[in-house]
Structure 1
């Protein structure tokens, strides 16, 4: 919460329970004036938001009570007053919970040498759009580019998360019951990003980033701002109909397609149940591997990973043209391309490296890589970062990555983290039990993640031999890591 919000809430929590004798020491008009000034200061400096509505109501009640109360009249607790206090306590509980649960949060400031700009690009592909019902539809994508800048920036920063992703988020988690304005408090969140500022006059490595399934495609500000500030152009994918939302240049918004998801996942348990049973059974790794390999064939997520990897290949195909003319002319180092992603996007990133020789290195942030990886091996550097899943969690990637790589393979775990810790979720929803995050401090968890990802790409995309990703495991006790090179562990 913001400072004046905390002061306001403490004010309305304590004042109703102050004894009349104490209030009498200061004239009523000064109490009323203090309350009004605090409200005006809050509105003018921080701005109102709906989560503070119970607190605002309590302030109005306090002003009214101060105005009508006869302080000199003896106080007597009546049934009516008791009900009033009960209502007051209920309002106070809600008044504290709402702004704590949905705060105007702070994002970590980027530590790199560059300011960060962003730019949206609309891409039309030749892929058939299999998600829509029109057989003539072709797949269209909106991609957000995060890039380094040396411009001295001032003024308005980019608002936090685009409108389509906001609407998709509130619809998903309220099941359509909450109106769209309830997410507008995100306008108060201060980002460290500026739209369409000038790109620095250098050439930069390019990283393609793929989001989680059914997630806000742009809900990775902490992660992407930091990495871009270190000297990378990042192409933030929005996989249409499988992210929470995308806004196109004509104003059209395309949201997550729940009907398609339902139809595609109807037979999921046919694939998932044998996998769960295989992990609970007392069988060898090889026996379990055969079951997993068979059960994963035909699983709808494998098709999704392939579709998303095709999206990224389509974008890589455009890089040469973008580098020849337009905003990014001569700013992209096309000999240094990497891919990374979170959750399903992490699996898709790994799939891209199998199929596209232009990729120099790839990283998977806590995603299961469904698809052909179980039958093949990487020949380029790969980083896998896992959340700290419980012991009973089915470690499918232990089978997916059994062959690892003929090059470097970094197998790491961020201790005390949950699956959403790689997103902005721990900042946006700071209650662990609701957000599904781990007990790790949100800022520390993001710091370790961004340093590890940056160090990995510095070493294997920028070819900076001074960087050693494994050294971070010695610096942070919450980071576990094993490093493989070919068949040997290093």
Structure 2
């Protein structure tokens, strides 16, 4: 919570117990002026947000109580006073909980040598759109580009945290009004829209988000990577993210009906995997069961579709490097890909199948499909959350053949699946989000050090990057490095 939010809540918590004593020494007028001043300071300096509505109501009730009370009368316990003591916490508890659960949070400040610029690009691939029912629809994509920028003037406006369409999609997912997330206007980002790209040229990374998530809900991760000298193309897989906003005013939200359609009857694919892991089968006995299932599960088709999305963008990069705001800024011989969750698996598929990609990373995603029978021919990083022992570790089978080049297998202890997103900052209660108990900033610092270090070594060819030393710095990081194929 912010400073004046805390001051307001402490005032509302303590003043009901002490105002009568204070009124015997000071005029009631001064008590009211003090209370009103605290409320006004919070509203003016930090702004109204609905999470503080119980606090504002309490302030009004308390002000009326102080104004109408006869201080000269001896305070007596009555039914009315008992009710006040009972009812007051009913407002005071949500007054504390709501701004704590949904805070105006702080994003980590990027540590790289560059400031971070952003811009938005719209692409019509002219491919058929497989998700909607209209046969005339073509696959359109909205991309957020994160890039290194030179120093930023003090008067340059910062990027707003999450566009309105992404906010609306997130609110809809949890059955909330879109206005619920208006308080995100107060979140301070470290990205600056449409500023000039820094002098020089930079490697390019494609980033693919999680299924049904906020495509741009990775500010902490992508701001840091861009500040380290990378152009990051933030994919937004239409109808499979929470929201895409197009320039003609069209908004494309997550298609829940399509999800239900493609996910129907999938338990018959997953059940054999679950039974194989729960039983006493060893790795070799379990492997053929996993092999069959990972090629049939519906997320394999999602990842295949997302690979084609990314390939459509790869096809456009030579043109973008000759005109537009990225002109001459991209090193097209240094292309990489990374992603989270389903997007992490899609990143692995693209790295496996497209020779333009020189290195890839998967942040806690399962790579469905044929990788289980094949070997990466390039450097690859797999970074996992700290899943419980009973979790079905499909990637231990899928990635068993690893790579003919470097293969990095990493885990950050006490993390959960959302720790690679902004969610632990946005909702700092792991019991609600599934995040781990690790400090969110520490988890993000380890993630970005590992991801940026991996691409520094294998795209920028910086031989002095010592990724292997990171576990000595961060005790929560477990890392194994393999060079060459491991059968």
Give TM-score scaled by structure 2 length.
Answer: 0.98
Is 1:159 the counterpart of 2:160 in the alignment? Answer: yes
Q: Distance in 1 between matches of 2:164 and 2:349?
A: 30
2:234 is aligned to 236
**What does residue 387 of structure 1 align with?**
385
Query: How far did 1:354 drift?
Result: 1.4
Per-residue deviation, 1:17: 1.6
The alignment covers a number of residue pairs equal to: 486
Q: Per-residue deviation at 1:22?
A: 3.9
Would you say the 8 A contact 1:103–1:428 is kept in 2? Answer: yes
Matches within 5 A, 1:126-137: 126-137=126-137
CA distance in 1, matches of 2:255, 2:152: 41
Equivalent position SS for 1:105? coil
Q: State how 1:313-462 maps to structure 2 within 5 Å.
A: 313-462=311-460
Higher mean displacement: 96-105 or 22-31: 22-31
* Alignment of structure 1 residues 457-472 onto 2, 5 Å: 457-472=455-470
Maintained 8 Å contact 1:385/1:413: yes
1:105-129 deviation digits (Å, cap 9, x = unpaired): 0000011111101000001113221
**Map of 1:3-82 to 2, 5 A cutoff?**
3-18=3-18, 20-82=20-82
Residues of 2 paired with 1:236 and 1:30: CA distance? 54
TM-score by length of 1: 0.98
Runs of 4+ with deviation above 6 angstroms: none
Partner deviation per Cα, 1:344-389 (whole Å, 9 max, x = no partner): 0000000001111010100000001111111111010000000000
1:216-227 residue pairs with structure 2 within 5 A? Answer: 216-227=214-225
Indicate yes or no: 2:209 matched with 1:208.
no
Q: State the partner residue of 1:265.
A: 263
Structure 1 unaligned residues grouped into runs of 5+? none
Separation of aligned partners in 1, 2:412 and 2:41: 42
- Cα distance per residue 1:181-209 (max 9 Å; x no partner): 11100000000111000111210000000
Q: Please tell me whether the aligned partners of residues 213 and 344 of structure 1 are also in contact (alpha carbons under 8 angstroms).
A: yes
CA distance in structure 2 between the partners assigned to 1:78 and 1:221 by the alignment? 54
Stretch of structure 1 that moved more, 5-14 or 276-285 = 276-285
CA 1:385–1:257: 2 relative to 1, 3 Å: same
Report the equivalent of 1:293: 291
SS across alignment from 1:100: helix
The whole-number CA distance in structure 2 between the counterparts of 1:487 and 1:142 is 38
Verify: 1:113 aligned to 2:85, yes or no: no
Distance 1:463 1:121 in 2: 29
- 2:171 corresponds in structure 1 to 170
Task: Name the stretch that deviates more: 375-384 or 296-305.
Answer: 296-305
* Maintained 8 Å contact 1:151/1:198: no
CA distance in 2, matches of 1:272, 1:196: 45
Inter-partner Cα distance in structure 2 for 1:432 and 1:69: 44
- Stretches of structure 2 lacking an aligned partner (at least 5 in a row): none
How far 1:32 moved relative to its partner? 0.4
Q: Distance in 1 between matches of 2:240 and 2:152?
A: 37
1:473 equivalent among 450, 454, 471 = 471
SS at match of 2:31: helix
How far apart are residue 152 of structure 1 and its match?
A: 2.6
Please state whether the residue corresponding to 2:198 is helix, strand or coil: coil
Cα distance in 2 for residues equivalent to 1:205 and 1:350 = 18
**Closer/same/farther in 2, CA of residues 170 and 184 from structure 1, 3 Å limit:** same
Structure 1 partner of 2:181:
183
What are the Cα deviations for residues 155-213 of structure 1, in whole angstroms up to 9, with x where unaligned? 32111011111001011012xxx321111000000001110001112100000000000
**For the residues of structure 1 that align with 2:474 and 2:145, how far apart are their CA atoms?**
31
- The more displaced of 21-30 and 234-243 is 21-30
- The answer on whether the counterparts of 2:19 and 2:31 sit within 8 Å (CA) in structure 1 is no
Distance 1:104 1:20 in 2: 34
